[in-house]
Amino acid sequence: MFDLEIENITAWIRDRGYPSVALQLPEGLKVRATGIAEEIRRATGADVFILGQPCYGACDLFTDYKKVAGALVHFGHSPIPSMGADPDVLYVPAFDSPDISSALSEAAPSLPGRIGLLASVQYVGLIPRAKEILESFGKTALAAVGDSRVVYPGQVLGCNCSSAEAVADRVDAFLFIGEGDFHPLAAAFGVDKELRVLNPVTGEMRSVEGVRDRILRRRFAAIESAKDAGSFLVIVCSKAGQDRSPEAERITSIIRSSGRSAHKILLDEITPERLQPYAVDAYVNTACPRIAMDDSVRYARPMLTLTETEIVLGLRSWDEYEFDAIRP
């Protein structure tokens, strides 16, 4: 059961005397929004505003919240330290801690001797327990803090696996604790090591190798189909944690120096409908790299990450393919 920390939230609002508060929730928690708003309003007397825009990560932090409220409670993600701190924003990651003892004890004998531990933010609290279990089987288990895009040891974002990179040369394989493919795939793209995924809720242990290979085959096809492109639309995202304007400037100038045309476009939400009107041959996405990697089939023209664009332009080879991680 995800911990929505209602008591902490109401104490924070009361202690600081906020007369109003905005709530930002990811899609999966929006169904709880009205209930949470009601609990907060009753416990604090504060006026509560639910923010209705889509929210995919802390990168999506709604920085304009002061238009409607004195404070913001952001659910489902941890802060991104490199974005800077705002004392009027409270992050509620919605931690969960199901019992992984029997599932991991069953899997442990088949794991190699040195294991790097990774998790999505909801399950980072399980990493110490996973380490204890693995060590009881004589394994070495390591979890490191990544760069300043993440907060917790072992934490992985869909665009950043620096926690894995930090220990990659000291482990034989990684164990990722979390649900779904989105977060473990970042580690599967970013580090060249065996990766096992433990779903802490069902106890299922699996590999994402097949999904990773299927996506990489699609990326190869997108790169090949963009090689003859004469015009590119370079997408810059206005969301606080996805704005990579310097990288957009750099790639625009590289495209132009190759004799092709490049135009920059600023968007908040990137969708096929919003890009459809522009007469170009390919898109370069400097926003969330997973839009290009996971969702490219939805777009009418090839959508490339920054590193993929370098392959199209002949600046690196396919063998030098690199995950387009967002760095601080």
Q: Of the listed pieces 56-64, 133-141, 222-230, 292-300, which binds ligand SF4 according to CB under 6 A?
A: 56-64
Of residues 233, 262, 288, 293, which one binds ligand SF4 by CB under 6 A? 288
> Which stretch in 1-9, 51-59, 264-272, 308-316 sits in contact with ligand SF4 by CB under 6 A?
51-59
Distance CA 14, CA 301 (A): 51
Which lies closer to ligand SF4 via its Cβ, residue 177 or residue 326? Answer: 326
Determine, following the binding rule CB under 6 A, whether residue 229 of this chain makes contact with ligand SF4: no
Least CB distance from residue 293 to ligand SF4, whole Å?
A: 10
Burial 74-90 (b: 16+ CB within 10 A, else e): bbbbbbbeebeeeeebb
Residue (of 229, 216, 219, 201) closest to 313 by Cα position:
229
Which of 21, 22, 57, 243 contacts ligand SF4 by CB under 6 A?
Answer: 57
Residue 72: left (phi > 0), alpha (psi -120 to 50), or beta? beta
Closest CA to 326 of 224, 248, 213, 217: 248
Interface residue with ligand SF4 among 290, 293, 309, 312 (CB under 6 A) is: 290
Please report how close the Cβ of residue 218 comes to ligand SF4 at its closest, in angstroms.
Answer: 18
Residue 59 makes contact with ligand SF4 by CB under 6 A? yes
H or E stretch at 263: strand 261-267
Q: CB 227: neighbour CB atoms within 10 A?
A: 12
* Closer residue to ligand SF4, CB minimum distance, 6 or 83: 83
- Of residues 111-170, which lie at the interface with ligand SF4 (CB under 6 A)? 157-159
With CB under 6 A as the contact rule, the residue among 163, 242, 285, 309 that binds ligand SF4 is 242
Minimum CB distance to ligand SF4 smaller for 142 or for 240: 240
Smaller CB separation from ligand SF4, 139 or 239:
239
Cα gap 166→143, rounded to integer Å:
9
- Find, among 181, 149, 193, the residue nearest to 326 by Cα: 149
Nearer to ligand SF4, 18 or 189 (CB): 189
Q: In whole angstroms, give the CA distance from residue 238 to residue 69.
A: 21
List, in sequence order, every residue forming a beta bridge with 249; answer none if it has no partner: none
Q: In this chain, which stretch among 41-49, 54-62, 244-252, 314-322 interacts with ligand SF4, using CB under 6 A? A: 54-62
Q: Are strands 173-177 and 114-119 parallel, antiparallel or unpaired?
A: parallel
Q: Which is nearer to ligand SF4, 103 or 241 (CB)?
A: 241
Count the residues of the shown chain that bind ligand SF4, applying the rule CB under 6 A. 11
- Residue 160 DSSP code: B
Cα 257 from Cα 246, distance rounded (Å): 17
Phi and psi dihedrals of 111, rounded to 5? -90, 150
Give the range of 53-61, 110-118, 120-128, 133-141 binding ligand SF4 by CB under 6 A.
Answer: 53-61
Q: Which is nearer to ligand SF4, 21 or 275 (CB)?
A: 275
Where do contacts with ligand SF4 occur on this chain (CB under 6 A)? 56-57, 59, 157-159, 241-242, 288, 290, 326
